[in-house]
């Protein structure tokens, strides 16, 4: 069934762009077996605009839809992906015109590469390792937007005691090992994931390294997504050491420390990104 957004929008320059009310596409990531991200791409049918190129599933937005709803609906229609398995992480306007037409990219994750089904708008659907996307013959609009959409690998370090202390009056201090175990289990369940960093760059977090000190060292966890560092003394000392070290880094291109401790933040290397606990705690809601 055709929506009221299907059709060409003609701009003041005379150029035509698909989508009378704008258009939206879904940038869907999922982890490969090695934990690195793959992106779902569509090989556009020969009859379509810029046919034969690779791009995101997407299309015209109907007048009653949000950009998120339009992107997810179009992706479902074109790839058959399960909508309930898609978790939206961010929304970016990646193209636009002076008269108000926009193309919006909706960034989302799935826990695993989802099964897909072709329709007539594609000749192939493929989960492409993210570091290979730019090697594909890309649709011109997607090629222009891709450098600002791709992720950088993130090494994330968690000031566990500080994060637990930010959860409010839950009584966690009465059972630090138990509360810590629950936090780490819940955190593992929402990894890997795309994150939006303060400078607008997207990062890929395959795991979160946690630092445990004091009684919390008795916490029970055995999940590859949550590597554990135990501090014999100060947890802050261990976090500062880890942030400055590349020896244990999964990939040191971006190091993020999650803490609200100003003293610890002042000790971090200049190129380290500090995020407040609220960012990570929001993942668990």
Compute the distance between CA of residue 65 and CA of residue 79 in angstroms, rounded to an integer: 19
User: Is it true that domain 152-283 has CATH number 3.40.50?
Assistant: yes
Q: Under CATH, domain 8-148 is a member of which superfamily?
A: Nucleoside Triphosphate Pyrophosphohydrolase (3.90.79.10)
Mean pLDDT value of segment 60-68: 88
Residue that the structure tokens 């916490």 belong to: 219
What is the tens place of the pLDDT at every residue in 191-212? 999 999 988 899 999 999 999 9
Q: Residue 247 pLDDT > 50, yes or no?
A: no
pLDDT band of residue 61 (cuts 50, 70, 90) is: confident
What is the tens place of the pLDDT at every residue in 11-32? 667 676 665 767 899 999 999 9
Higher-confidence residue: 234 or 88? 88
Q: Residue 46 pLDDT > 90, yes or no?
A: no
Strand 151-159, strand 202-205: pairing? parallel
On average, the pLDDT of the chain sits at: 88
> What is residue 155's predicted lDDT score, i.e. its pLDDT?
93
> What is residue 89's predicted lDDT score, i.e. its pLDDT?
97
Q: Where are the domains of the chain?
A: 8-148, 152-283
What is the percent of the chain with per-residue pLDDT over 70, rounded to a whole number? Answer: 87
Q: Tell me the pTM.
A: 0.87
What is the tens place of the pLDDT at every residue in 97-124? 767 778 899 999 999 999 999 887 788 9
Mean pLDDT value of segment 166-193: 85
Hey, what are 44's tokens?
């556009």
Compute the distance between CA of residue 31 and CA of residue 39 in angstroms, rounded to an integer: 9
What is the tens place of the pLDDT at every residue in 79-102? 999 999 999 999 999 887 767 778
> What is residue 188's predicted lDDT score, i.e. its pLDDT?
96
What is the tens place of the pLDDT at every residue in 123-141? 899 999 999 999 999 999 9
Q: How crowded is residue 168: how many other Cβ atoms within 10 Å of its Cβ?
A: 8
| Residues 227 and 210: beta-carbon distance below 8 Å | yes
- In sequence order, the 6+-apart residues with CB closer than 8 A to the CB of 234 are 213
> What is residue 84's predicted lDDT score, i.e. its pLDDT?
96
Half-sphere exposure of 69 (CA within 13 A, CB side): 6
> What is residue 252's predicted lDDT score, i.e. its pLDDT?
47
Domain 8-148 and domain 152-283, same fold? Reply is no
């Amino acid at each position: 069934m055709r929506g009221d957004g299907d059709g060409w929008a003609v701009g003041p320059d005379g150029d035509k762009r698909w989508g009378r009310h704008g258009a939206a596409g879904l940038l869907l990531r999922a982890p490969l077996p090695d934990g690195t991200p793959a992106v779902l791409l569509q090989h556009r049918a020969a009859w379509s605009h810029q046919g034969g190129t690779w791009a995101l599933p997407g299309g015209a937005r109907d007048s009653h839809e949000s950009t998120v709803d339009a992107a997810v609906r179009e992706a479902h229609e074109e790839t058959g992906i399960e909508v309930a398995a898609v978790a939206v992480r961010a929304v970016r306007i990646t193209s636009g015109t002076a008269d108000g037409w926009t193309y919006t990219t909706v960034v989302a994750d799935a826990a695993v590469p989802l099964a897909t089904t072709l329709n007539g708008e594609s000749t192939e659907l493929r989960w492409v390792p993210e570091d290979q996307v730019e090697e594909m013959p890309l649709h011109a609009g997607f090629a222009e937007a891709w450098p600002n959409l791709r992720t950088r690998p993130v090494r994330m370090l968690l000031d566990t005691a500080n994060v637990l202390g930010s959860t409010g009056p839950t009584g966690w201090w009465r059972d630090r090992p138990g509360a810590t175990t629950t936090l780490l289990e819940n955190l593992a369940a929402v990894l890997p994931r795309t994150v939006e960093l303060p400078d607008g760059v997207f990062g890929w977090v395959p795991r979160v390294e946690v630092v445990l000190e004091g009684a919390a060292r008795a916490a029970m966890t055995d999940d590859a997504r949550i590597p554990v560092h135990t501090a014999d003394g100060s947890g802050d000392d261990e976090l500062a050491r880890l942030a400055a070290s590349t020896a244990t880094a999964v990939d040191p291109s971006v190091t993020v420390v999650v803490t609200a401790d100003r003293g610890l933040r002042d000790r971090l290397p200049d190129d380290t990104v500090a995020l407040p606990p609220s960012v990570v705690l929001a993942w668990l809601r």
